[in-house]
Amino acid sequence: MHAINRAGLIETLKSELKEDNDKLRKDINTLRQEMGNKLDNLTEEMRGLTERMEEAENRVGRVEDMTLDLTEALTESIKRQRSIQNKLTDLESRSRRNNIRLFGVGEGEEGKSVTQFVTDFLKRELPLPADFDLKIQRAHRVFAAKPRPKNNPRQIIVNFQEYTTKELILKEAWKKGRIQSNGRNIYFDHDYATEIVQKRMAYQEIKKVLKEKGVRFQTPYTSIRIHWESGVGTYSSAHEAGMELRKRGLEVEVPTAVTEEVAMETRLQKSLGWQREARPRREHRVPTAQRAKEKLMEFQRSGKK
């Protein structure tokens, strides 16, 4: 009896174990299928993300290349603009080479004719031959609003037909030193272009310090020549001269050494330095400036046809 019950119990256990094994196998298959589906989905998502990442990298690369091209084009434009500006300044300076400027002549002193006033004034104040022909082509006040009585009068620009006459007038005026008209001190100088005036103005603080120290100096064009006890030194910029004064123990504010155009060009180069190092430039791409030039030439050729 006990043997029969034991055999039946074993069969029951086997049956239950088989059912459990079947159920476990089924669950494992189901789990495997679900995991397989999820892995397939993840693989698809990863493929999509990879494609999007590659597209993003390509777009970033194109933007980097375009930005570098634009920066190069802008930098080249700044250089060309500087070159053109220098040529324009040179041309303007040449057109003014026969001119002088008179500073300090009171408003209205010239009467009806500025040319006649200047002629009489120069012959009266400077040691010129009585029959010397100044050959003044024109003379006028600078084109600006008439100043208030307390303000400085407008300068007078005088244009001579001959350069030698202009140089003679300046030489004699500077040699005489103090020249007055109606109690006002009158100063003579070249008629410089605006850019030249700005460069000369940069020496104002330096000249002030030199005058206070009794150091002789001259300002030929855009340079300054300083007569030190140890010898004469010529400096091509206010920054260079200021640094020299500092070395010699003179307190002076040193002007900046770079112009706004050069500073802008430097900032452009620095702003994209990380892109040049992190990502090599694509050699097959044609720079923007070159592409623009080629399109312009193509347009010009089509226009001639």
Average pLDDT over all residues of the chain: 84
Angle at 29 between CA 26 and CA 35, to 5 degrees: 140
Contact between residue 133 and residue 119 where contact means Cβ atoms under 8 Å apart: no
Token pair belonging to 265: 């060009």
**238-251 tens-digit pLDDT:** 989 999 999 998 98
C-alpha distances in Å from residue 218, one per residue of 21, 194, 206, 267: 109, 20, 12, 35
Rounded CA separation 124/139 (Å) = 17
**20-62 tens-digit pLDDT:** 788 888 888 888 888 888 888 888 888 888 888 888 888 888 8
Q: Does the pLDDT of residue 153 top 90, yes or no?
A: yes
Q: Does the pLDDT of residue 66 top 60, yes or no?
A: yes
**Domain residue limits, the chain:** 97-191
E strands, the chain, in order: 99-103, 136-141, 156-160, 180-181, 184-185, 187-190, 217-218, 224-228, 231-235
pLDDT (average), residues 72-100: 89
| pTM more than 0.95 | no
How is residue 285 annotated by DSSP? Answer: S
Helix or strand run (H / E) with residue 269: helix 260-271
Q: Does the pLDDT of residue 262 top 70, yes or no?
A: no
CB neighbours of 156 closer than 8 A, spacing ≥ 6? 101, 102, 105, 110, 114, 118, 139, 140, 141, 142
Domain 97-191 CATH superfamily = L1 transposable element, RRM domain (3.30.70.1820)
pLDDT of residue 301: 60
Angle between helices 2-95 and 194-201 in degrees, nearest 10: 100
CB neighbours of 179 closer than 8 A, spacing ≥ 6? 125, 173, 185, 186, 187, 188
Query: Residues 222-230: contacts with CB within 8 Å, 24+ apart?
Result: 222/196
